[in-house]
């Protein structure tokens, strides 16, 4: 079953990459679709980030107190805005999390 889902998802993903190469006459997306698709990365990635930071993995409930994860995420946002560097952001974020988990 895992394989079936994976192959279906893989075929769909390939289709999203191939669709405009397929040789049809239309090579431009309608403006509204183009505009809407520009928001896909922001919407999808934020939807993954927020629960990963705020939902406690053990109790599965939203934590409203400043947890090590939340503080590490805020530090990472600041580092990302200042450096725009992916690896620096990951490393500083992880180290912050380790220090806070050890200390709190």
Partner 1 sequence: MQSAKSEFIAGIVDELPLMLGVVPFGLVFGVLGIASGLSVAETILMSSVLFGGASQVVFAQLWASGAPAFVIGGSVSVINLRHVLYSASMSVYLHHLPLRWRVILAYLLTDEAYAVSIRRFRDKPCNQHMHYHLLGAGMLLWVGWQISTIIGVVVGETIPDSWSLSFAIPLTFIAVVAPILRTRADLAAAFTAGILALLGQPLPWKLWLILAAIGGIAAGWLVHLHTEKSRKTLS
Give the binding site for partner 1 (CB under 8 A): 1-10, 12-14, 16-23, 27-29, 32-55, 60, 62, 69, 72-73, 76-77, 79-81, 84-87, 89-90, 93-94, 97-98, 101
27 vs 104, beta carbon nearer partner 1? 27
Q: How far is the CB of 67 from partner 1 (least distance, A)?
A: 11
Q: How far is the CB of 23 from partner 1 (least distance, A)?
A: 7
Tell me, what DSSP letter sits at residue 55?
B
Q: Do 93 and 69 form a contact (C-beta atoms < 8 A)?
A: no
19 vs 66, beta carbon nearer partner 1? 19
- Which tokens hold the place of 30? 């309608």
Helices (H) and strands (E) in the chain, counts: 5, 0
User: 60-81 burial string, b = 16+ CB within 10 Å, else e?
Assistant: eeeeeeebbbebbbebbeebbe
- Which tokens hold the place of 97? 């999390």
Q: How far is the CB of 50 from partner 1 (least distance, A)?
A: 4
């Amino acid at each position: 079953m895992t394989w079936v889902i994976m192959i279906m998802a893989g075929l769909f993903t390939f289709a999203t990459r191939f669709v405009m190469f397929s040789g049809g006459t239309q090579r431009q997306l309608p403006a509204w679709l183009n505009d809407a698709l520009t928001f896909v990365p922001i919407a999808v990635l934020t939807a993954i980030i927020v629960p990963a930071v705020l939902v406690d993995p053990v109790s599965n409930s939203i934590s409203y107190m400043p947890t090590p994860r939340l503080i590490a995420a805020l530090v990472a946002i600041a580092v990302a805005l200042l450096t725009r560097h992916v690896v620096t952001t990951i490393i500083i974020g992880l180290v912050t999390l380790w220090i806070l988990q050890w200390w709190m």
